[in-house]
Amino acid sequence: MTRAGRRDRGVASLEVIALYPLLVLFGTFALQAGAAVWTVALADDAARTAARAASLDQDPAAAAAAALPGAIDVRSVGTFGGPAHGVRLTVEVPRVSPLPVFTVTREAVMP
């Protein structure tokens, strides 16, 4: 083996070690995006459940909290009216990355 070949042997290992933190960061961001999509789907369902409860003269906040898993915190539940019973639900997305905490707001209306 030549001298140049011996000097280049550890370069690939160093490149992988240097990229490892970026791969971990990208992975946590992907997990956060997945958590956000999961939260939106669950918040949609919880808003419909809360609107149904409001149309039956039940507590929409309790219905929304019961429809969500314990990992998702309800920030606020508000109703808006007229002949239809509407509910506006705001929940916090679970944090799995160094991104700041953010919320999701969904609305549903029941006749």
Q: How confident is the model at residue 8 (pLDDT cuts 50, 70, 90)?
A: low
- Would the pLDDT of 93 be above 90? yes
Q: How far apart are CA 57 and CA 77, in angstroms?
A: 15
Please, what CATH class does the domain formed by 3-110 belong to? alpha beta
- CB-side exposure of 83: number of CA atoms within 13 Å? 1
Q: Is pLDDT of 1 > 90?
A: no
pLDDT tens for 36-92 read 999 999 999 999 999 999 999 999 999 999 999 998 999 999 999 877 789 999 999
Q: How confident is the model at residue 48, as a pLDDT?
A: 96
Which pair of tokens denotes residue 107?
Answer: 């609305």
Q: Domain spans of the chain?
A: 3-110
The count of residues in the chain is 111
pTM of the model: 0.79
65: tokens are 């909290």
